[in-house]
């Protein structure tokens, strides 16, 4: 007889535990499956983030101890690697106290240990027992990709899954793969005293090259060597043979290899086809933007979903899955606010939209760069080689950025919050940064942005105000007089003229001078026209203006009875103005009066449809 559950979660890593935990908390029947008790917690607890960060913490303390002679303290001695690894495993065991089968059973979940296999569209089997679920979430994670080379069996080979059982420190080690895992572990072992050489196509290729250059300089100071653009070909007589695309070869003496060349998904043995789940031919599961597989009752979460393979990405997936379980309006996966940190020394933190993404989307943005060289805290704590880069929209919104510095992952947190919530650079000015906190580097880049906005004319205006000591009331009065005068002049000029009137941006006035409003119009645009007597109103907005249809109806109703005295009226707004239309905010544009030859006679400012219509009447 089948046992029935509201939801079955296969895989007790970060994503699976988040889904199972919430569903259990609200009282649903939850089945949690993992292959063994020590697998609970996922790759992060057992082989990834937790042990690697514990090892990096140990390495940092060792490095600082060696450098303490500069401050009057001499430290000497050899590294007991076995003891260091005991520290790492101790931290893992501490976390396992609340990540094990007994703990989750006590919370009310059904936990089954063993390998799951699908037997139909809603049923899985574990150790001969069948379990049926209304919904099923696959969160089985990934594992290190292996490397098959001639002679590799003659040397000690490590991955992130077995490096933490190391009890004898190798004198020499080659790290194959220059991604985050290889570089983090390589730097830690280098601090322990191993001579580390890194072989790979490129160093941290997903990161900003400027940030990587700063990190590489520090890694080389630590004694690490790099052989980039090379691939391993063979292990022979205690040497790793490598070659590049030009056919050039080198031989690297080594006692061990650390393989970090990517990840493979844990989907074999699940019998996915039995459940109606398609795969993509590369070992991945076909899923849509809602993380649903081709069987809509089965979803993917975490590494098996593809894309970003981070613990926090799995948490994002879990949140989306939970939300969509209960919402009639399903939400798509959006990773625009994704962030990640490479935990080297210094760290590299990246968040939001990368520059290549901004370019691909055709977005307009400004690049801000900030060095740590003059930051007081960076000088005192000796990380003044740090650097950051920020991408800002034309409206001042934080779009994304990257930083290389000591504790960069922590320093960028407020920037990540700003990007995720659409905050603008000037919003940071509301915050008072205590001196000399490390986060004042963020204040520095904000001040840089604000200073860029001070044009020579605006500075001249401010100087004049200061020197004349004009009060705020007087300024408001003067500006009011100027705007009222301009309005009255524009009304008078329009009412006395029978010439063509064109509402347009400055740069496009001539395009419509010869009564050809469609001549140079972008094919991407959405446009409509309205006839009122012998008048043609031509309004245009780009495709992303979601209120165009409503606006069409509104204009027809408001203008159909107005006897206009003009031949052609054309209204065109830039994107900022279109956004204001969408949010129904009064907008401002330029009105250009042309003579019959299309030459500009006069220029006015019109504010909003109401005023434009009133002015024409």
* Secondary structure (DSSP) of 83-108: HHHHHHHHHHHHHHTTSSHHHHHHTT
Return the pLDDT at 590: 44
Q: Cα(284)–Cα(562) distance, rounded to whole angstroms?
A: 62
Where in the sequence of the chain do the CATH 3.50.50.60 domains occur?
Answer: 3-143+264-326
3-state helix, strand, coil in the chain (%, to 5): 40, 25, 35
Q: Which residue has the higher pLDDT, 546 or 104?
A: 104
Using CA atoms, how far apart are residues 372 and 351, in angstroms rounded to an integer? 19
Q: Could you give the C-alpha distances from 413 to 89, 338, 385, in angstroms and in order?
A: 29, 12, 20
Residue 518, pLDDT > 50, answer: no
- Is it true that domain 3-143+264-326 has CATH number 3.40.50.300? no
pLDDT band of 471, cuts 50, 70, 90: low
Give the number of residues written for the chain: 617
489: pLDDT confidence band, cut at 50, 70 and 90?
Answer: low
Q: How high is the mean pLDDT of the chain?
A: 82
> Is 80 exceeded by the pLDDT of residue 523?
no
Could you tell me if 304 and 140 are in contact, meaning their C-beta atoms sit under 8 angstroms apart?
Answer: yes
Distance CA 611, CA 22 (A): 55
How many Å apart are CA 186 and CA 174, to the nearest integer?
9
What is the average pLDDT across 246-271? 96
Residue 594: count of CB within 10 angstroms of its CB: 21
Q: What is the pLDDT of residue 459?
A: 82
Assess contact for 351 and 415: CB atoms under 8 A: yes
Q: What integer is the mean pLDDT of 345-361?
A: 96
Mean of the pLDDT values across residues 361-385? Answer: 94
Comparing 168-177, 438-447, 468-477, 550-559, the range with the smallest average pLDDT is 550-559
> Which range among 128-137, 158-167, 224-233, 467-476 shows the weakest confidence by mean pLDDT?
467-476
- Please tell me the predicted confidence (pLDDT) of residue 1: 62
Instruction: For residues 476 and 472, give the distance between their C-alpha atoms in angstroms, rounded to a whole number.
Output: 6
Q: How confident is the model at residue 551 (pLDDT cuts 50, 70, 90)?
A: very low
Q: Quickly tell me which residue has 């393989």 as its tokens.
A: 259
Residue 595 has pLDDT above 50, yes or no: no
Return d(Cα 522, Cα 569) in angstroms, integer. 18
User: Predicted confidence band at 253 (pLDDT cuts at 50, 70, 90)?
Assistant: very high
Cross-strand pairs, 138: 10, 300
Structural tokens at position 476: 């408001």
Question: Confidence class of residue 490 from pLDDT cuts 50, 70 and 90?
Answer: low
Q: How far apart are CA 270 and CA 284, in angstroms?
A: 12
* Number of separate helices (H) and strands (E) present in the chain: 18, 28
Residue 52 pLDDT greater than 80, yes or no: yes
3-state secondary structure of 167: coil
Average pLDDT of span 86-97: 93
Q: What is the average pLDDT across 457-469?
A: 78
Q: Kindly give, in sequence order, each residue whose CB lies less than 8 Å from that of residue 224, ignoring residues fewer than 6 positions away.
A: 186, 187, 190, 196, 197, 198
306, 284 in Cβ contact below 8 A?
yes
Going by C-beta distance under 8 Å and a sequence separation of 6 or more, which residues neighbour residue 472? none
What is the pTM assigned to this prediction?
0.76
Listed in order, the ranges of the chain carrying CATH 3.30.390.30 are 346-452
Q: Which of 33-47, 64-78, 195-209, 349-363 is predicted with the least confidence, judged by mean pLDDT?
A: 64-78
Which two three-digit tokens encode residue 253? 């003496």
Alpha-carbon distance of 173 to 186, in angstroms, equals 8
Give yes or no for residue 478 having a pLDDT over 80. Answer: no
Q: Report whether pLDDT(528) > 50.
A: no
pLDDT at 142: 95
Q: Give percent of the chain with pLDDT exceeding 70.
A: 78
Cα distance between residue 481 and residue 140, in whole Å: 70
The pLDDT score that the predictor gives to residue 602 is 52
pLDDT at 586: 33
Q: Using 50, 70 and 90 to split pLDDT, how confident is the model at 51?
A: very high
The Cα–Cα gap between 248 and 292 comes to: 47
- The residue ranking higher by pLDDT, 462 or 388, is 388
Instruction: Give the integer Cα–Cα distance in Å for 411 and 405.
Output: 9
The sign of the dihedral angle between the CA atoms of 252, 256, 258, 261 is positive
In CATH, the architecture of 346-452 is 2-Layer Sandwich (3.30)
């Amino acid at each position: 007889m089948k046992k029935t559950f509201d939801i079955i979660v296969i895989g007790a890593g970060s994503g699976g535990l988040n889904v199972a935990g919430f569903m259990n908390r609200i009282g649903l029947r939850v089945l949690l499956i993992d292959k063994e008790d020590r697998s609970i917690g996922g790759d992060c607890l057992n082989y990834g983030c937790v042990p690697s960060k514990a090892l990096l913490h140990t390495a940092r303390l060792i490095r600082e101890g060696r450098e303490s002679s500069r401050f009057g303290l001499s430290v000497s001695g050899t590294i007991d690697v076995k003891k260091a690894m005991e520290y790492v495993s101790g931290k893992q065991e501490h976390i396992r106290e609340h990540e094990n089968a007994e703990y989750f059973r006590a919370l009310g979940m059904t936990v089954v240990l063993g390998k799951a296999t699908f037997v139909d569209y809603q049923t899985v089997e574990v150790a001969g027992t069948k379990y049926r679920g209304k919904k099923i979430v696959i969160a089985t994670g990934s594992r290190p990709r292996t490397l098959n080379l001639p002679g590799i069996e003659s040397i000690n080979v490590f991955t992130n899954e077995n490096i933490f059982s190391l009890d004898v420190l190798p004198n020499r080690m080659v790290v194959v793969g220059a991604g985050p895992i290889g570089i983090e572990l390589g730097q830690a072992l280098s601090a322990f005293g191993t001579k580390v050489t890194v072989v790979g196509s490129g160093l941290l290729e997903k990161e900003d090259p400027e940030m990587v250059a700063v990190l590489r300089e520090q890694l080389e100071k630590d004694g690490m060597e790099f052989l980039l653009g090379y691939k391993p070909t063979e292990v022979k007589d205690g040497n790793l043979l490598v070659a590049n695309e030009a056919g050039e070869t080198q031989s690297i003496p080594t006692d061990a290899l650390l393989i970090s060349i990517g990840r493979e998904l844990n989907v074999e043995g699940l019998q996915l086809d039995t459940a109606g789940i398609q795969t993509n031919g590369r070992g991945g599961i076909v899923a849509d933007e809602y993380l649903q597989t081709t069987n809509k009752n089965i979803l993917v979460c975490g590494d098996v979903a593809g894309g970003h393979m981070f613990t926090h990405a799995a948490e994002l997936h879990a949140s989306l899955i939970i939300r969509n379980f209960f919402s009639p309006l399903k939400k798509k996966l959006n990773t625009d606010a994704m962030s990640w940190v490479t935990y080297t020394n210094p760290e590299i933190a990246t968040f939001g939209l990368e520059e290549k993404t901004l370019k691909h989307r055709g977005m307009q943005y400004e690049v801000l760069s900030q060095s740590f060289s003059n930051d007081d805290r960076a000088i005192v704590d000796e990380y003044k080689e740090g650097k950051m880069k920020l991408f800002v929209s034309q409206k001042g919104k934080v779009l994304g950025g990257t930083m290389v510095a000591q504790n960069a992952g922590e320093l960028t947190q407020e920037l990540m919050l700003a990007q995720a919530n659409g905050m603008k650079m000037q919003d940071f000015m509301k915050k008072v940064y205590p001196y000399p906190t490390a986060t004042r580097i963020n204040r520095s880049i904000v001040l840089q942005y604000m200073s860029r906005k001070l044009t020579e004319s605006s500075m001249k205006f401010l100087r004049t105000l200061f020197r004349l000591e004009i009060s705020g009331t007087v300024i408001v009065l003067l500006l009011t007089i100027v705007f009222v005068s301009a309005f009255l002049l524009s009304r008078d000029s329009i009412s006395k003229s029978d010439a063509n009137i064109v509402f347009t941006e400055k740069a496009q006035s001539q395009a419509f001078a010869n009564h050809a409003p469609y001549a140079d119009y972008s094919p991407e645009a959405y446009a409509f026209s309205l006839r009122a007597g012998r008048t043609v109103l031509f309004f245009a907005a780009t495709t992303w203006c979601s209120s165009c249809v409503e606006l069409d109806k509104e204009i027809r109703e408001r203008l159909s009875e107005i006897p206009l005295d003009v031949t052609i009226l054309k209204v065109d707004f830039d994107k900022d103005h279109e956004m204001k239309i969408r949010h129904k905010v009064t907008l401002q544009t330029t009105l250009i009066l042309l003579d019959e030859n299309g030459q500009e006679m006069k220029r006015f400012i019109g504010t909003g449809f109401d005023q434009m219509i009133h002015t024409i009447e």
